Each structure stands twice: as C-alpha cells, then as structure tokens.
Chain A
Amino acid sequence: MILLCPVCFCTHYKNQKNEFMKPKSFSETLRPPKNGNDKNPLVPQSSSLLETLPGASLQETETEIEQVEGIQLTKPGEADRELFNKLNTEIETETESAYEQVMEEPGTEVAEEGVFARDVFFASYPELLEKSMAEIIFGTDNRVRITPTTSFPWRAICALRIKAQDNSLWYGTGWLVAPRTVITAGHCVFLHAHGGWPKSIEVIPGMDDNLRPYKSYIGTSFRSVVGWVNGKKREYDYGAIILPRDSRPGDKTGVFGFAAKDNQYLLSAYLNLSGYPGDKGLPLPLGDQQYFMAQKAKSVAPRVIYYEIDTMGGQSGSPVWVKVGNARYAVGIHTNGHITGNSATRIVLPVFNNIQAWKNLGM
C-alpha cells in the first residue's frame, strides 16, 4: 500500500520498514529562519537572481555592532582562515600559489578494473545549465543503496569512524579530493564539546558492509577554519583530514573535483548526495552501507545550500555534487538535517581556496 504524506502528498512518507521518515517535501512557508544566513533564501521561483559570491562589489554603509556579551568579531575573510592541529604529515610550505583564483578543480577517475560503472544519464534535461545531471540508480526507495561500491564515484566516498578526545565515538562521511586528502564537515574534525580536534579518525573508502575494498586508514592531522573552530558558525562547517604519507587511497579510488557555482546554476542542477547513514545496515554493524539520493536544490543562501534529499545521522561530511558529462564537481558538504530542509556548507570561493590548499597537502 502506498501511503501519502499528509503535508505534501508525496509517496515516500514511510520507508521500506514502514517507519516514518523525514518529510521530503513541504511548503516553503513552513520554514522558520534558522540563522542569519537563511532569512531571505533564494528559491527557484525567482526569475532574476542576485549573485552574492564573495568578491562582489557592494556599497558600504556605516554600521555599528551591538555590544553583546560573548560576541566575537572577525575581520573580513578571517572566518575562512585555516586552522589545524598539526602539520607533521604534510609539507609545511603553504604559499600564495596554493590559492589560485579558479572556480573549478577537476577530479580524476582512475581506470576501472573490470568494474561496470552503474551510473547512467538522464535522457535529457534541457533546463539544466551545462547539462548538469544526476546520478541515476534504479530502485524504488528514495535513498538507494550503493553496492558494490567499487566503481567511481562511490569508492571515493569514505565512512568515517571518529574517536574524540573524550573517547566518545562518532560516525560521519568524507570524500577524497587528493590521494590522501579527505574533505568532510567541520564538526567531524573539530567537536567543540568533546575536546576539539579528535584523537583519530578511521577513513574507510567505499565501505560496503564488512568489505573494505580499499582498506582503511587512520588520520590524525586535521584542518578546519576560524569560522568553525572559534566561531562555531554553521556557514563555516567544513574541514579536512590529511592522511599520513604512506596512506594514499585516492590513488586507487580516484578523486572528486570541486567547484564554486553561482545561485542560478545551483538552483537548476541536480544535486547528488551519497554517504553512510547510521539508520542503515541492520543487523549490526550499522552505518557501513552507502546510500545515495539526488534532487534539485530547495533554495540557496550565500553560504548554504538547502535541499530535500533524505539524510540521516552519519552522513555529515557527504559530498553534494553535480555531474557534468563524466566529471563530478562537489558544490557542497552535507552537514545538517532539519524538517524544513537538509543542508550543506556551500563551496564558495574562500571554501574552494581552502579545499584547493588542502588538496595540495595531500598530493
């Protein structure tokens, strides 16, 4: 029997186990402001969209800051300044050349070894810019399990096992942008209430039940930015794991590209998201199966992308990417869930620059 969601009359109100899931579609009017970044989100209905990427020319006005206890001010651009726990696994010479003003960084897909790539194209989506297309996997559930995970891009997506300084254990997701650089959520590499930088994170590319087709690797060198580490601001919730020199899973899995795209592009493109949700995998162990879903964005804000792609705990750090031909460009890093829309930290130019620098560290 098909059950309809009473809110949006969609057909995915219950999952295969007949458990209630997060609503997938809902009225925009139901959304309360979540933060200062979301008070006026851009939505697809708008015919003319303002580009608000950093660097845009804005007329300055004279303003004052309310004196509020606990507020921390940062200089322009300061919130994206890199912070790290140690530099013992990478070259410590970070020069300006690492911050090239480019907006797309291609990934690489290493040669398949007799593995059939499951993703196929939509027949046509003329409304999409640059023919950005969604990964398509056949199935009836909105979240579709990826198995096997040994083809690209699935094998470049990693299950994370995070051991915090207070020994608490957490599950997340990351994705490779270089042989030994894994991009993830800031809250996976800096847990404010649990000692900050973790003791270690186990990185398991392409995990598939008890299979670890590309082994696993222990990371102890982490990166994030001031806006997350010091400011705990949702808009700066991104970071990286730099694996040791002898740990180079990206050589075998291939790596994601990444790009900073404008509002119109993001609202028109299909967004792909795949990660390791903690509600999948019963019986134990949980969180060891990769699940995927694709959908267009619900809205975009200057530093956040909102969507109705189903996610669950454990998927923090998952790549949100667009597929252009055979290239995959991550445009966001999944971080948050909420009934009015799940969301990703958007890759804008400062984020792009940091990922580029972190990629260089892991070459």
Chain B
Amino acid sequence: MTTTTKSVRGVLYKAATGQPVEGAMVMIAEGTYEHQDIAAQSDAQGGFYLPEIQVPGTYTLLINYNDQSRRITVNITSDSVLRIPL
C-alpha cells in the first residue's frame, strides 16, 4: 500500500455543547507506523495537528484535558480532518 507523510489536522469539541476544547494535550499512543513523540496542545478553536504521520494508517490517540483522559482509535487517510467530541 502506498503511504504518504503529512500533518493531519483535528478539532476537539464538547459533545454536549459543540464548543471547542482549548488546552487539551493530544498525542499518539500507538499507531500503524512510527510516529514522532511530540505532543500537541489544542488551540482556542479546539484545533490540533498530528505531526508528520504516515497515512493511511490506524492510530490510537491519547487526549487529556481537565481531569479527563480519553483514548480514541481512528483510521486516518490522506484527506482526513478529525472531529472528535469529548
């Protein structure tokens, strides 16, 4: 399978209100491919990036914010934009 490397954008929002989640820490816990061990922080619009990952691939994200911790497994393709409710 042909893969390409790219930064994939995602957006975190509160499931109950749709409001963006700012200040969450997002990192890759596991993945199909090797990944950089850097962590991203979501901005005021809830936006974040998964840096330079190989796609398509399956990745498990660890998302920490406030006192919560979530693990989410996602299939990511080259044109994916992740919208993740918390």
On A, residues with C-beta under 8 Å from B are 17, 19-20, 22, 34, 162, 167-172, 185, 187-188, 191-194, 232, 234, 277-279, 282-284, 286-287, 311-316, 334-339, 342-343
Residue from the list A34, A282, A311 in contact with B67, Cβ < 8 A: A282
Complex Cα spacing A208 to B30, Å: 26
Complex Cα spacing A168 to B69, Å: 21
Query: Of residues A162, A193, A311, which shows the largest number of chain B Cβ atoms within 10 Å of its Cβ?
Result: A193
Complex Cα spacing A334 to B38, Å: 10
B51 in contact with A314 (CB, 8 Å): no
Contact with A along B22-51 (1 / 0, CB 8 A): 010111111101111111110100011101
B residues less than 8 Å from A337 (CB atoms): 28, 31, 34-37
Query: Of residues A162, A167, A171, A342, which shows the largest number of chain B Cβ atoms within 10 Å of its Cβ?
Result: A171
Q: Closest approach, in angstroms, between the C-beta of A218 and any C-beta of chain B?
A: 17
A278 in contact with B6 (CB, 8 Å): no
* Residue on A nearest B5 in the bound complex, by CB: A232
Complex Cα spacing A191 to B26, Å: 17
Q: What is the count of residue pairs linking A and B with beta-carbon distances less than 8 angstroms? A: 123
What are the 9 closest A-B residue pairs judged by CB atoms, nearest first?
A313-B27, A278-B39, A313-B39, A193-B7, A314-B39, A169-B41, A338-B34, A171-B39, A316-B38
Interface of B is mostly: strand
B7 in contact with A169 (CB, 8 Å): no
A–B Cβ pairs within 8 angstroms, 20 of them: A169-B41, A171-B39, A185-B37, A188-B38, A193-B6, A232-B52, A277-B39, A279-B29, A279-B69, A282-B64, A282-B67, A284-B23, A284-B67, A286-B64, A287-B25, A313-B27, A314-B38, A335-B36, A336-B36, A339-B30
On B, residues with C-beta under 8 Å from A are 5-7, 23, 25-31, 33-41, 43, 47-49, 51-52, 62, 64-67, 69, 71
Query: Of residues B28, B64, B71, which shows the largest number of chain A Cβ atoms within 10 Å of its Cβ?
Result: B64
B34 in contact with A343 (CB, 8 Å): yes
A172 in contact with B38 (CB, 8 Å): yes
Interface of A is mostly: loop
B62 in contact with A312 (CB, 8 Å): yes
B residues less than 8 Å from A339 (CB atoms): 30-31
Residue from the list B23, B34, B38 in contact with A34, Cβ < 8 A: B34
A192 in contact with B52 (CB, 8 Å): yes
* Residue on B nearest A160 in the bound complex, by CB: B38
Complex Cα spacing A162 to B41, Å: 10
Q: Closest approach, in angstroms, between the C-beta of A233 and any C-beta of chain B?
A: 11
